[in-house]
Amino acid sequence: MPKPLSHFRIVDLSCVLAGPFSTQLLADFGAEVQKLEPPGGDPTRGWGPPFEDREDGQSAYFRCANRGKTTQPVDLHTEEGRTLLFDLLKDADVLVENFRSDSADRLGLGWKRLHAKFPKLILASIRGFASDVSASRRAGYDFIIQAESGWMAVTGEPEGHPMKVGVALVDVLAGLYCANGIQAALLHRERTGEALHIEVPLMEAALAGLVNVAAGALMTGEAPQRWGNAHPQIVPYQSFPCTDGNVAIGVGSDRQFEVLAMWLGLDLDTKPEWRKNRGRVQDRDAVVALIEARTRTRTVAEVLKVCEANAIPASPVRSVDEVLFRKSGELHNLLQPLFDSDTNTMVPTLATPVLLNGERACAALPPPRWNP
């Protein structure tokens, strides 16, 4: 498999998810990643269950973001630890860290000092909030940022409580932005010789991730509402109950709705406004009620048969274990077992969903064990 980043060395001081997820992606593309963990290890080593096979075994949380790295402990509050770090930085291309900006400065890891000492080193800093806002010294966890950024306000049922997304998606987004920024900085340095400081604030990654929701608020000045599994701009585009489960139906074109209307027994000449999405959005409740009346008397398989026969996008609402295991090879080929020589076992992981010459990018090294 191609390894386009194989000639780059990255030192990773980050913990938890955003930073490690970013450097794992770079490792999947071939970069050499040296992870330096605090004396107690990355906190996610203790985040569980689930753990591998015992309470002191590897956690699933640590495993999800640390493939392809080697690791060693370092105490940056000691002279010995800082000497170890600076020795590694002499030959490194990138340093990734997620300290608060004031903590980074106290450790001698601020951009000005590092750039003076290592002029070719790219620094990538993941923060809770940007350095040019008044909240810059606040720490940021994914859950806090989901609350602070408005994500929770638009997630959940309309009459229910605000809810976080089921995974730490702000961290994932920030990690992707960070990896993208690092690769851009490497290209810039190769072209100009200039190293850059990349800063990725979780708060701003979350705001960017609001996409059309934020665009709508900017256009109208109004606060978006929660829609549950429905879509604010498209109807029908949500899940519907069946006799044995739920089915998601996404009608993305007016032509698809014309076909669906035939299955519903609906004469669109009596509802000409429903031929266009704008009219269906205006009459959302009536359209949804009509579809629900039909799906409630059908099995998931029956509804899917109709949708598939008429090219209407639809899917059963699946569980995670079902899609990972039973649908591997049909819906995805992302499972990538890696051999762990420390335990003589195969470690199940999910490769990066980028195909390079037809192969999914995935580093060969399993997540490193903790052996301080």
Which of 79, 76, 78 lies closest to 97, judged by CA? 76
Helix (H, G, I), strand (E, B) or coil at 112: helix
pLDDT of residue 227: 95
Q: Which residue has the tokens 């605090």?
A: 38
**Chain centroid to CA 24:** 13
Which of 295, 305, 310 lies closest to 246, judged by CA? 295
Give all domains of the chain, ordered by start, each with its CATH number. 9-210+334-360 (3.40.50.10540), 237-317 (3.30.1540.10)
DSSP state of 75: -
Q: What share of the chain is helix, strand, coil (3-state, %, to 5)?
A: 40, 15, 45
Report residue 372's pLDDT band, with 50, 70 and 90 as the boundaries. confident
Q: Write the CB contacts of 70 (distance below 8 Å, at least 6 apart in sequence).
A: 33, 34, 35, 365, 368
How far apart CA 346 and CA 370 sit, in angstroms, is 17
Burial 20-40 (b: 16+ CB within 10 A, else e): bbbbbbbbbbbbbbbbbbeee
pLDDT in tens, 230-243: 999 999 999 999 99
pLDDT in tens, 266-290: 999 999 999 999 999 999 999 999 9
pLDDT of residue 101: 87
pLDDT in tens, 17-37: 999 999 999 999 999 999 999
283 strand-pairing partners: none
How far apart CA 331 and CA 320 sit, in angstroms, is 13
339 strand-pairing partners: 346
DSSP string computed for 262-292: HHHT--TTS-GGGGSHHHHHHTHHHHHHHHH
Of all residues in the chain, the percent with pLDDT exceeding 70 is 99
Has residue 226 got a pLDDT over 90?
Answer: yes
Which of the following is catalytic: 12, 171, 283, 340? 171
Helices (H), the chain: 18-28, 60-63, 79-89, 101-106, 111-117, 142-149, 169-192, 202-208, 211-220, 254-264, 277-282, 284-295, 300-309, 320-321
Report residue 53's pLDDT band, with 50, 70 and 90 as the boundaries. confident
Cis ω for the linkage preceding 353 (within 30 of 0): no
How far apart CA 181 and CA 12 sit, in angstroms, is 15
pLDDT of residue 55: 65
Has residue 45 got a pLDDT over 70?
Answer: yes
Has residue 139 got a pLDDT over 90?
Answer: no
How far apart CA 45 and CA 370 sit, in angstroms, is 8
DSSP state of 46: G
Has residue 304 got a pLDDT over 90?
Answer: yes
Contact 10, 30 (CB under 8 A): no
Q: Is 285 a catalytic residue?
A: no
Report residue 57's pLDDT band, with 50, 70 and 90 as the boundaries. confident
DSSP state of 110: S
Q: What is the pTM of this model?
A: 0.94
Helices (H), 99-239: 101-106, 111-117, 142-149, 169-192, 202-208, 211-220
pLDDT of residue 245: 96
